[in-house]
Amino acid sequence: MLRVKKDIQAIFERDPAAKSILEVILCYPGLHALWLHRLAHALHRLGLVLLPRLISQFSRFLTGIEIHPGAKIGDGFFIDHGMGVVIGETTEIGDNVTIYQGVTLGGTGKEKGKRHPTIGNNVVIGTGAKVLGPIKIGDNAKIGAGSVVLHDVPEHTTVVGVPGRVVVYAGKRVPSIDLNHVDLPDPVAEMMRSLQRQIDELRVKQEELLKKEEKNGDSRLQLSDT
């Protein structure tokens, strides 16, 4: 019962659209998927195979969210909207993690054993992001919308782009869960702007040199005329 209260509390903390407990219980597919997963996961741990998978498939049909019964999920997990979310069998998710619609926590091949991501505490994974392979996402990390992450992500960092690139916030500790997964730095755009500045500076220097050469040329012509 305490876990159920934490699930509902997490929604109120992170979704300003939540108005009442009854609305949350009846209208939030992420919550339904989480509760059905807990049942499937408990049966999976008992060594059952078919029944947990049937529950998982029923949950997918009901909510649009696919969570393999083998996935391990901590407390305070929140799936916002959730349509198209896929969470693989060997995924491990820490506490107070938030993910948005279209997120995939998947594998990258046919290898056996651990083949899905391990997500730390207080992580936010933005809309449409893909986190693939047996990689680790550190505590308080943020994955930008649409990013594709194929390598480990350190704690207290933000990843954006395809493939995902880490943007470090000067080692500052994140005091609370930051749900902004759209308005993030773009290292590729920053690089392009830097290159453009260098090109503009070179163009100015080139024009200055050409003017000097023209001035020197005019001076030589005047001397030769005299």
Evaluate if residue 130 carries a pLDDT over 50. yes
What average pLDDT does range 130-138 have in this prediction? Answer: 95
Residue 81: band (very low, low, confident or very high) from pLDDT cuts 50, 70, 90: confident
Evaluate if residue 3 carries a pLDDT over 90. no
Residue 186: band (very low, low, confident or very high) from pLDDT cuts 50, 70, 90: low
Question: What does pTM read for this prediction?
Answer: 0.74
pLDDT at residue 174 in the model: 47
**Closest of 160, 157, 92 to residue 129, by C-alpha:** 160
Strand, helix or coil at 10? helix
Among 31-35, 40-44, 83-87, 175-179, whose mean pLDDT is lowest?
Answer: 175-179
pLDDT at residue 211 in the model: 80
Q: Rounded to an integer, what distance in angstroms lies between the CA atom of residue 17 and that of residue 15? A: 5
E-state strands within the chain: 66-67, 72-73, 78-80, 86-87, 92-93, 98-100, 104-106, 118-119, 124-125, 130-132, 136-137, 142-143, 148-149, 157-160, 165-168
Neighbours of 16 (CB within 10 A): 8
Evaluate if residue 223 carries a pLDDT over 60. no
pLDDT at residue 210 in the model: 84
Residue 49: band (very low, low, confident or very high) from pLDDT cuts 50, 70, 90: very high
pLDDT at residue 139 in the model: 93
Residue 170: band (very low, low, confident or very high) from pLDDT cuts 50, 70, 90: very low
Evaluate if residue 176 carries a pLDDT over 80. no
Q: Rounded to an integer, what distance in angstroms lies between the CA atom of residue 116 and that of residue 108? A: 8
User: Can you give the length of the chain in residues?
Assistant: 226
